[in-house]
Amino acid sequence: METALVAAFIAAGAAIVAAIVSWFGAFQSRRTADRDQAWKRLTWAMRPKSTSTEYDISRTVLERMLTVRWASKSDKNLALRALRRHTPPPPEEREP
């Protein structure tokens, strides 16, 4: 009977460890997907030239990245620095 009890405790411990590892893997996977999406948005937002019609959209993307809850502090700082470099063009250079 003691052997069965020890085996049950070991099995329960292994199940708990497996559940924790599984949860952590899912958490990391979700965070990686969120960071990948943020990186794609940031690189897209930096591409348009100031004369492009996409310029206003890319500026909005950078501004919104400052407020997303899942972005890390370093991601927000990167978006802020990119936004500072993303200055509006003079009105005469913009497309109608």
* For the chain, domain boundaries: 2-93
pLDDT at position 48: 58
Position 35 scores a pLDDT of 80
Locus of tokens 């509006």:
88
State pLDDT tens for residues 52-82: 666 666 777 778 878 887 777 887 888 788 7
For the chain, the distance separating the N- and C-terminal CA atoms, rounded to the nearest angstrom, is 84
pTM: 0.41
Model pLDDT, residue 31: 82
On whether the CB atoms of residues 2 and 39 are closer than 8 A, the answer is no
Radius of gyration of the chain (CA): 24
pLDDT digits over 6-57, tens only? Answer: 999 999 999 999 999 999 988 888 888 888 887 787 777 666 565 666 666 6
